[in-house]
Each structure stands twice: as structure tokens, then as C-alpha cells.
Structure 1
Amino acid sequence: MSTGVLYVMSTVVSGLIKIGKTTTDRFDGRMYILEHNGYNNVTGLQRRFAIEVEDYDEKERMLDDIFSKARVPGSELFALDINLVIELLASFEGHQIYPKSSTESKSKVFDDAAKNHQEHTDIQSIPEGTYYLDRKRPPLHVEMVVEDGTLTIHAGQRVAEHDNDNVGDRTRELRRSNVDNNGTVRADVHFSSPSQAGEFATGHSCNGWAQWKTADGQAIDVFRTRQNSSPQSLQ
């Protein structure tokens, strides 16, 4: 059986990913070309996970069959949640090439991908509409719009003026780039989870599933699917 690398990459287009294969000795070169030149008129490719496996040609064909309905015709691009693909690849028997296993183990990659995919699934279950985060002291009222599975806080709203140390780096960057000194949001901001949107609004760590509420006061946690299935190890 031939040995080679299966990999998955994100692109500049949200929800569009690339799944591919290469020989082990060509992996770094292939990543360099794709990350610098793009693929099939799509730019912004970034490696996210890669694993060296036996019989990689057959396993790639299996991936193509599994995700055939999400494939962009005539390409290696797929309209998929990347966490689902990472979760599946990390379940294969093989040697993790990227991220380097000394930095992030295959089991941790699998667990994180499973968690992120579940979060993505849960977000799709939130009905489209407007949800509210309110705080009495200091006063705060922020609206989050859910449309086509995207969570957005629109420009012109007022959020907390300051953030504290327990805010994630990505959220802090979003606040620095999009919030004026008086707390006014300068441009529409999109979020990967209700908790990230809650952090952005309040300036501190936040369980968004509990804090964002419907117009009648129900926490959006009621919409979660709460499914905990994961793929079995594939030989």
C-alpha cells in the first residue's frame, strides 16, 4: 500500500474548503504553492490539518464519495464545515503532519474539531431573527441578528467600551478594529459563535448560549441540538 498525505485547507471564502492529497516529500512545497497562489480562482488558502496515511489514494476516493454532494464540480473544493473534515481525518490511523504533533496532538485536534463542528451544527439550529443581550449595570442593550447561519452585530450599536483580560485574542482584535472609544460599532461584525458575539458585546468572557435571548426572554440554549456523535476510528 502506498503512503501519502491527506490534507484540508480553509479559503478566503467562508464555508468553502479544499481537500487534497500529495506525497509526503512534496507536502511542504504543495502547501507553499497553494497558500501563495490560490487554487481554481480561490485565494487565501491556509493549511489546517494534514495526516500521513497508508493507501492514501483509496482514502481520498472515500472522502470524495462521502462529501460528493458538497463538491464544487471539477475541483477539489467543497462547501463544508471544515471542522467536520478535520474530525474525520483525525480519526484515521496515521502520522499527523500538520499541526506538528509536538504542538497539538491528534487527539486534541480531533476533540477540538468535534466540539467546533457541534457548535457549527448548533448555530444552524438557531431560527433566523434578532436576539438580545441586556445588562443592568452598567446599562447595555445589544442586538444580534441571525441570518443564513451567520451571527451579526450591526454597525451603529453600542457595546461595552472596555474589555478585560479574559477576552479571547480574536475577540479583542475584533473590538479594536470595529469599536469606537465610546462603544459604538463602526461596521457590521460577524461571529463564529454566540459566545464570541457575547464577548464582543460585553467586553468579558461570556456564555452566549445563556446570555443571548429571544424577544420573550428565552435563552437561545433552547435551540441547541445537543448531539454528541463522532466518527469511529478508520483503519
Structure 2
Amino acid sequence: MNDEKGIIYLMTTAVEGLIKIGKTMTSQYKNRIRFLEKHGYCNVTGLKIQFAIEVNKYSDKEQLLHSIFQKSQIGNTELFALDINTAMKLLSSFDGKLIFSAYGDKETTFNNATENIASRLIPNGIYYFKKQKKSDNKVVEAKAKIENGIWYILKGSILGETEDKGVSAKAKLMRENMKIGEKGVLLEDIELGECTPSFAGVLIMNSSINGWSDWYDEKGNKLDKYRKESQDD
């Protein structure tokens, strides 16, 4: 039975910073997730699936995860006071069949989790963006504020207007809710929540870019320095 395949999954909850790491038989996966999202778990509601992978020896692997993160475990439950990116980075590196990811394929999920972890090292402050956009024949120029990992794009930023390749569905939806005036001028501050410099850059440019090398601080340092610092740890 220890060799049996099954699914390990990660879920966020209504409580920020509280996640569920669970397991289920492959045949029960859909019903289990549907039940948890509807009824909650251990009096915690708002559960939402973020990642699920089918692996061999799934019970053993779930036990391994619980052991690794035991200091963050809430009692004897499957709830953990843990940044989901930390758990997702580890779980997405397992050999197995991807069942669900809110972030793309396994490699994309791993890279996204890695970037999100690095993004948390960016200090509070004001950051700047300035880049030529050929399809609009203009310079896109923006100013952002970061407070405790939360990004805000500030009023008066000049955004890209033409949608080029590489704009995610999440960025498209967020842009639809932004108040943008003539010539792409942002008419009010917009909160992005926790995100990476690349996501913030895509939102500004309306095209795919590497935001780590395009955003810079008041001293002119590129944000990539913080990602490098996280890789050196």
C-alpha cells in the first residue's frame, strides 16, 4: 500500500498565511476538494485549491512535508502557518503528474514560487520603472510603492496601451479594473497585492518583460539584487 499513487494538494484559506497540506486518493480528489471548498476544514473556511500533484507513495511524501514544516503546524491538523510559496516550491519539485496548478505547469509553478519568495526580500520603499515600448511608440514610466510585500502602482504612472504577447489572464483582468485616462495615464493608485516585479512590470508595460531588471530603487539599483541575495542564502 505504501507504493500506491495518490494526490498531495495545497490550499489557501480565509486566514492569510494559513494553508492546508493534505492528501487524498486519486479517485476521491475532485469530491475531496469540492467538499473542503464548500465546508472548510477544522472551523477554517475559504479554502481554495492552489496546487495538486499525483505521486507514488503519497502517504509517505505527505508525512515528509508535515515533518519538514512541523514547526509551523497547527496542533494535529493539516493546517500550517506557512507561506504557500515555500510549500509549493518543494512540492512542485516532486516527480509526479500535475493535477492542478493555479500558476501553470510544474516548471512555471516552481519558478513563480521562487520569485515570490525572493520578492519578499524587497524592502519597503518607492520604486521606479522607465522603458521604451515600440508598439506604442512611447516611454512607459511608472512609480510604485511597496509596503510589507504589498505593491501599489501610483497615480500618474504612464502605462503601455497596446497589448503585446505574454500578458497573463490575471494581468488582463486587473488592467480592466484600473482607471486609465488618455495616453495611458493611471488616474488613481492601484493595489496589486503581493506580487513579483515581473508581474508588476507586465501590468505596466502590457507586454511580457523581466521586471527584476527593469524596476529600480531611488539609488538606481535594479531589484534583481534582492533575488540574487536570496539565491546566495
1:113 is aligned, of 109, 112, 119, to 109
Matched, 1:164 2:160: no
Paired amino acid for 2:112: N
- Structure 2 equivalent of residue 124 of structure 1: 120
- Percent identity, aligned pairs only, is 30
Matched, 1:38 2:37: no
Aligned 8 A contact 2:40 2:47 in 1: yes
- Structure 1 equivalent of residue 176 of structure 2: 176
- Structure 2 equivalent of residue 69 of structure 1: 71
Aligned 8 A contact 2:19 2:80 in 1: yes
Paired amino acid for 1:162: E
TM-score, scaled to structure 1: 0.77
TM-score, scaled to structure 2: 0.77
Distance 1:50 1:199 in 2: 28
Distance 2:8 2:141 in 1: 46
The 1:187/1:86 distance shift into structure 2, 3 A limit, reads closer
Query: Secondary structure of the residue that 1:173 maps to in structure 2?
Result: helix
Aligned 8 A contact 2:121 2:230 in 1: no
- Structure 2 equivalent of residue 151 of structure 1: 151
Distance 1:97 1:188 in 2: 31
Paired amino acid for 2:212: W
Give, in angstroms, the shift of residue 119 of structure 1.
0.6
The 1:170/1:9 distance shift into structure 2, 3 A limit, reads same
Aligned 8 A contact 1:31 1:47 in 2: no
- Structure 2 equivalent of residue 99 of structure 1: 100
Q: Alignment length, in residue pairs?
A: 219
Distance 1:147 1:25 in 2: 43
* Unaligned 5+ runs, structure 2: none
Paired amino acid for 2:18: L
Distance 1:14 1:138 in 2: 39
Paired amino acid for 2:115: E
The 1:71/1:152 distance shift into structure 2, 3 A limit, reads farther
Distance 2:203 2:171 in 1: 6
Aligned 8 A contact 2:9 2:52 in 1: yes
1:5-36: CA deviation from partner (whole Å, max 9, x where unpaired): 32222345554321112233322211111122
Matched, 1:133 2:134: no
Distance 1:219 1:97 in 2: 34
Give, in angstroms, the shift of residue 197 of structure 1.
0.8
- Structure 1 equivalent of residue 87 of structure 2: 85
Note the aligned Cα RMSD (angstroms). Answer: 3.0
* Unaligned 5+ runs, structure 1: 230-235
Distance 1:200 1:70 in 2: 34
Q: What are the residue-to-residue correspondences of 1:2-17 with 2, within 5 Å?
A: 2=2, 3=4, 4-13=6-15, 15-17=17-19
The 1:221/1:89 distance shift into structure 2, 3 A limit, reads closer
2:218 is aligned, of 215, 229, 234, to 215
Give, in angstroms, the shift of residue 209 of structure 1.
1.2
Distance 1:58 1:226 in 2: 33
Paired amino acid for 2:198: S
The 1:145/1:75 distance shift into structure 2, 3 A limit, reads farther
